[in-house]
Amino acid sequence: MADNLTHKILKEHLVDGELKVGTEIGIRIDQTLTQDATGTMAYLQFEALGLDRVKTQISVSYVDHNMLQAGFENADDHRYLQSVAANYGVFFSKPGNGICHQVHLERFGKPGLTLLGSDSHTPTNGALAMIAMGAGGLDVAVAMGGGAFYLPCPRVVGVHLTGKLQPWVSGKDVILEVLRILTVKGGVGNVIEYHGEGVKSLTLTQRSTITNMGAELGATCSIFPSDENTKEYLVAQGREKDWKPLSADPGATYDKVIEIDLNKLEPLIAQPHSPDNVVPVRQVAGTKVQQVCIGSCTNSSLYDLEITAAILDGKQVFPELDLTVTPGSKQVYTMVATSGALAKVIQSGARILESACGPCIGMGQAPSSGAKSVRSFNRNFEGRSGTKDSYVYLASPETCAATALKGVITDPRDLGPQPKLDLPPKFYIDDRGVLAPAKNGDRPEILRGPNIKALPLRTAITDKIGGKALLKLGDNITTDHIMPAGAKVLPLRSNIPAISEFVFFQVDKDFAKRAKEAGTFTIIGGENYGQGSSREHAALAPMYLGMQFVIAKSFARIHKTNLVNFGILPMTFVNSADYDKIKQEDVLEITDVRKALKAGNRLTVKNATQGYTFEAQFDLSPRQTDILLAGGQLNYTKAAAK
């Protein structure tokens, strides 16, 4: 039987279940990554498992999110992460070494392996023919301990590429076109596998931009074959031994196929406030812009910065506009410094940021009130930039640089011939920013600052759950809505009592207060509830405040899993009319919960305020049901290990 690439890798790693769409499977995880915004909690959870050492081929702890050290909190977390990594056999990438996805692509990713990361953009490494997936930190902690990662067996959507990108058209435009076709909900339950003759024309870094923003589709992951372009990249990284050819079998089939002719693509841009609100750049050209940001894990490679420098060379940024540029790693930073590209960018009037997530995660560079900002980032959710009334557009570095020069959104084709770049065949290699763990048997002291609080746990689920529906929300509620990021909130990731004060803060500033007064509560959501970041704090902090269950029209994959992992029951409406009938503040109750969870997939919900009942359903595997009954994944895993 001819296998697609996704099934080839899944078959090699399957430890539980069968590759039947929608049924739960468990797969072996070869590599893990964490970043500091999610990592502190992930390692606290790993410690709680009581294991001596990680059991993966390699696990890496990165520091790239919480880089602003305005107080002791971030520095203390970084110290904890370094010491716990040394203790448990984890490599530690120091602050300044780069953004986790960029560095992992450069130094650790290998074709044919599985990678699980506590960041939703972990699929970046699908560019190297990996099954690379984002997950909550607790799932990553279990994987570090040698446990399988469980997920619904995905459908495989083939994106058949033909032709070749034309001048000024980039990998960013490919993924924006896929988002235009599928929308932010269209990838849920799917792996997006790229194939066809057009793949050969895409460089590895163009592919990584595409797989990175596959997260915005809601996809499980995205993947490219490993071919000569993959080899060229690994040779440049001094890692030729890690290369092997890997692709779909001839005649392999897909659950759905999308056709894209690269010849016909033009520069595209995502308008506020969603990555799928995509139009040609020409359609919005001339729109005045106050800020441009180039970088993020999506577009901060050597090529991205070199093309930016070539466009800016000898010119000045528009005087009424601010431009920031972020190299994705120490490797990129060093290479653009030695090539002269960095000087060109600085001389143009741009501001250079350190190699970190920075403004993409709302950590600095918030636009001015009501400003329009064009960014080479991956998300443009309302308020994510740090300014509630800003308008963020997503575009390629080429479009961003052209816009920075003109002061208005500009199609880069209007600049004339595209500059020709001659990138070196060998990249600068210096791994001193990655610290190896202590040798097996050595157990360095784990250092904890006062902001690192004990991990809160939920007790086993009770027979009666419920409370006020404190919020009734619409479609596409993101984890940024539920648990904001930004410079004020991110330093509190290891302190659940403190960070819980910001739950739903962007929706209702008094939400935490109302939740505490209610004691227990529920949330009502629309389609695609919990899209966006993998941040488990969007489940953990509401659990701490007393959230019992969520009823939505549909859920994003990672957030649904995170809810289960922290003992919160995710349910969907059997009849959509019931969503319309519920009012915010209605008291909802469910009885005989434990019996119902074991018996089937439906529960009767009583609206005590309005005096009627309705049916809600849950789509959980037997294993997930047991996790809920235990009160969460950590309780379940520890009990199973006894």
Distance between CA atoms of residues 409 and 268, nearest Å: 11
Residue 514 burial class via C-beta count within 10 angstroms: exposed 0-12, middle 13-18, buried 19 and up: middle
Preceding peptide of 273 cis, ω within 30°: yes
Strand 602-607 and strand 612-617: pairing? antiparallel
Q: 601 by DSSP, 3-state: which? A: coil
- Contact (CB, 8 A) for 295 and 378: no
- Contact (CB, 8 A) for 300 and 332: yes
Among residues 36, 119, 173, 322, which one is catalytic? Answer: 119
Look up residue 226 and give its DSSP letter: B
Among residues 101, 207, 375, 379, which one is catalytic? Answer: 379
Among residues 118, 120, 339, 533, which one is catalytic? Answer: 533
Among residues 64, 76, 322, 480, which one is catalytic? Answer: 64
- Contact (CB, 8 A) for 248 and 3: yes
- Contact (CB, 8 A) for 288 and 372: yes
Asked if 535 is an active-site residue, the reply is yes
Among residues 7, 65, 155, 559, which one is catalytic? Answer: 65
Residue 114 burial class via C-beta count within 10 angstroms: exposed 0-12, middle 13-18, buried 19 and up: buried
First vs last Cα of the chain: how many Å apart?
A: 41
Residue of 557, 458, 560, 472 whose CA lies nearest to 511: 472
Asked if 119 is an active-site residue, the reply is yes
Q: 24 by DSSP, 3-state: which? A: strand
DSSP annotation string for 275-344: TT-EEEHHHHTT-B-SEEEE-TTTS-SHHHHHHHHHHHTT----TT-EEEE--SBHHHHHHHHHHSHHHH
Asked if 379 is an active-site residue, the reply is yes
Residue 173 tokens read as 């435009």
DSSP annotation string for 444-498: PPPP--TT-PPPP-PPPPPS-EEEEEEEE--S--BHHHHS--STTTGGGTT-HHH
Among residues 458, 535, 537, 557, which one is catalytic? Answer: 535
From the CA atom positions of the chain, what is the Rg in Å? Answer: 24
- Contact (CB, 8 A) for 174 and 210: yes
Catalytic residue annotation: 64-65, 119, 379, 533, 535
